[in-house]
Amino acid sequence: MINVTKTYLPALEKYQDYVRRIFESGWLTNNGALTQTLEARLSEYLQVPYVVLVSNGTLALQIAYRLLKVKDQAITTPFSFVATSSSLVWENINPVFADIDPNSFNISPENVRKAITPSTSAIVAVHVFGNPCDHDSLVKISKDNSIPIIYDAAHAFGVQYNGASIAGLGDISTFSFHATKIFHTIEGGAIIVKDKKTYDKAKLLINFGIPGYDQITELGINCKMNEFQAAMGLCILDDIEDIIAGRKSIYNRYVDSFLGTESLKLQQYSLKATNNYAYFPIVFSSEKILLKVKEELNKLEIFPRRYFFPSLEKLNYVASQVTPIANSISQRILCLPLFADLNWEEQKKIIEVVKKSA
């Protein structure tokens, strides 16, 4: 069976060494030594001053909203994983959807500007499939209207934009370290902040508002990363360059195979950015063709995914909105299997089915 992705697992012996250290220390959570080490190593790797590790990427978003006092309305994309919108609704913030660019699949700055109202308190943009947003345009809108930008960078670990880490963009960026991501901590996530004051505030919010023994200074919640998650992250970080390099060859074989195929459209990736090869999306000319391709692949025990379907303006817990481009693409897009040890024979089978059925 070939799934859309396959979780990368490090050498068992390496992970066991970390687990042994956890057992010897007896310190399983609450900002243990491994969590602190991973924060420091990620800060260096991502070229950012402050990394706050949390138990998952959805809570990373929710803490970001709290840190920036987001309320009332936030402009966001309808083309993303559901957590981008559900996290807003969970925090009693109304998502206002700005339609996407049909080529990059990212939120359209022009549509963001049109969507701003006196109730807008943030822009929540997603680097879709690791493809950086048009940051230059978004940051101008942010400054013109005095509203912050939160980047959901769940797909964009390790990506460089204009020669610098994508993690440093926006007022806050967040990551998901779920097992399906190229860098993972089994479950987990991170909040990237710019200054020590915000870092200290975030540390309070993720730990019940407790700064130390016998103190509770404000409202908080529990979303700390534990030591077993951090151990996995330390292992994966050692291998991350090899992971990305392995995915690159698979990605490039897809590109070479599909270029010039008129019935398919590929994502237009930013020329200002590097690629981490996290996903390989293709857009068919119709949903009917997509469903046919998916069915034929499923018969061979190959399971691509309809990332992202449905378009989020269709959710039954958000206000009815119209985003025709996102809705159209969401009905016609399919992410093909992509992981480092997908061999050529398997990939060739996928390519042949797609080209024959499309």
Does the CA dihedral 47-51-55-56 come out positive or negative? negative
Looking at the structure, do residues 205 and 255 belong to the same domain, yes or no?
A: no
What pLDDT sits at residue 129?
Answer: 98
Q: Which of 236, 255, 282 is the last residue of a domain?
A: 236
**Tens-digit pLDDT profile for residues 219-278:** 999 999 999 999 999 999 999 999 999 999 999 999 999 998 988 999 999 999 999 999
Looking at the structure, do residues 87 and 219 belong to the same domain, yes or no?
A: yes
Looking at the structure, do residues 231 and 263 belong to the same domain, yes or no?
A: no
Looking at the structure, do residues 203 and 132 belong to the same domain, yes or no?
A: yes
* Cα–Cα distance, 331 to 308 (Å, whole number): 8
Q: Residue 308: which CATH number? A: 3.90.1150.10
Residue 216 near residue 71 (C-beta atoms within 8 A): no
What CA–CA distances, in Å, run from 132 to 107, 188, 306?
10, 22, 21
Cβ-based neighbours of 198, under 8 Å, separated by 6 or more: 50, 67, 172
Give residue 218's domain range.
2-236
Q: Which of 214, 236, 258 is the last residue of a domain?
A: 236
Cα angle 153, 164, 103; round to 5: 55
What pLDDT sits at residue 307?
Answer: 97
What pLDDT sits at residue 263?
Answer: 87
- Report, as ranges of residue numbers, the positions in the chain whose pLDDT lies below 70: none
Copy the structure tokens of residue 332. 């016609």
Q: Residue 166: which CATH number? A: 3.40.640.10
What pLDDT sits at residue 212?
Answer: 86
Structure pTM? 0.97
Copy the structure tokens of residue 56. 């998952």
Looking at the structure, do residues 292 and 260 belong to the same domain, yes or no?
A: yes
Looking at the structure, do residues 93 and 230 belong to the same domain, yes or no?
A: yes
Residue 73: which of 133, 115, 135, 125 has the closest Cα?
Answer: 115
What pLDDT sits at residue 357?
Answer: 87
Looking at the structure, do residues 222 and 288 belong to the same domain, yes or no?
A: no
Copy the structure tokens of residue 139. 């940051």
Q: Which of 220, 236, 252 is the last residue of a domain?
A: 236
Looking at the structure, do residues 339 and 204 belong to the same domain, yes or no?
A: no
What pLDDT sits at residue 326?
Answer: 98
Copy the structure tokens of residue 290. 């997509």
**What number of CA atoms fall less than 13 Å from residue 29's CA on the CB side?**
10
Residue 286 near residue 332 (C-beta atoms within 8 A): yes
* Cα–Cα distance, 251 to 254 (Å, whole number): 5
User: Domain count of the chain?
Assistant: 2
Looking at the structure, do residues 201 and 219 belong to the same domain, yes or no?
A: yes
Looking at the structure, do residues 284 and 161 belong to the same domain, yes or no?
A: no
Looking at the structure, do residues 154 and 293 belong to the same domain, yes or no?
A: no
Backbone angles phi, psi at 303, to 5 degrees: -125, 85
Looking at the structure, do residues 56 and 152 belong to the same domain, yes or no?
A: yes
